[in-house]
Structure 1
Amino acid sequence: MSLAMSTTRDPDEQFSKTTLFCPTCEHASPIDGDWIMDDAVHRERLLCPRCGEVVVDQPEL
């Protein structure tokens, strides 16, 4: 899971601790936002809606 903030963002912009960031294209959205759930695997896998990069990849609970 990538939670690093980009230096190209507006420094006055505030993000919740549950905001995810795509490491490839820097798309940001809440964890329950517009991320794409990959149902093809038996894992919790979220994909970026912009570039398709895997943002979260962990075993299902």
Structure 2
Amino acid sequence: MTSYQQKRESKPSRKATLYCLNCAHESPIEGDWRVQAHGDHVDYTCPECGTKITSRRTNINSAAQITRNQFCCPGD
């Protein structure tokens, strides 16, 4: 068994996990990624190295909600 197979078997994979190919950071999609809304799409950027991981299409209401959540703090 290769080390890749051992790693995959020892750690269950989540469907909604993003991986940074530049620095190997991994986190759930709702995890610690930097998220920036741009009208009809949302960019996910690695918090460790700043690499753009993905850009996903979204509707305007979802993008607006993401933008509001970025600037709101729990307890405000």
TM-score by length of 1: 0.70
Q: Which has the higher helix share?
A: 2
Tell me which stretches of 4 or more aligned residues in structure 1 moved more than 4 Å: none
Provide the C-alpha distance between the structure 2 equivalents of 1:33 and 1:15, rounded to a whole number of angstroms: 15
**Partner of residue 52, structure 1:** 50
Provide the C-alpha distance between the structure 2 equivalents of 1:18 and 1:57, rounded to a whole number of angstroms: 14
Alignment of 1:30-49 (within 5 A): 30-39=28-37, 41-42=38-39, 43-49=41-47
Aligned residue type for 1:18: A
Give the fraction of aligned pairs with identical amino acids, expressed as a percent. 30
Q: What do you get for the CA RMSD once the two structures are aligned?
A: 1.9
Provide the C-alpha distance between the structure 2 equivalents of 1:16 and 1:33, rounded to a whole number of angstroms: 12
In the alignment, structure 1 segments of 5+ residues that lack a partner are: 1-6
Once the two structures are superposed, residues 30-59 of structure 1 have per-residue CA deviations (whole angstroms, 9 ceiling, x without a partner) of 0000000124x4431010000000011134
TM-score by length of 2: 0.58
Q: Count residues in correspondence.
A: 53
Q: Which has the larger radius of gyration?
A: 2
Provide the C-alpha distance between the structure 2 equivalents of 1:47 and 1:20, rounded to a whole number of angstroms: 10
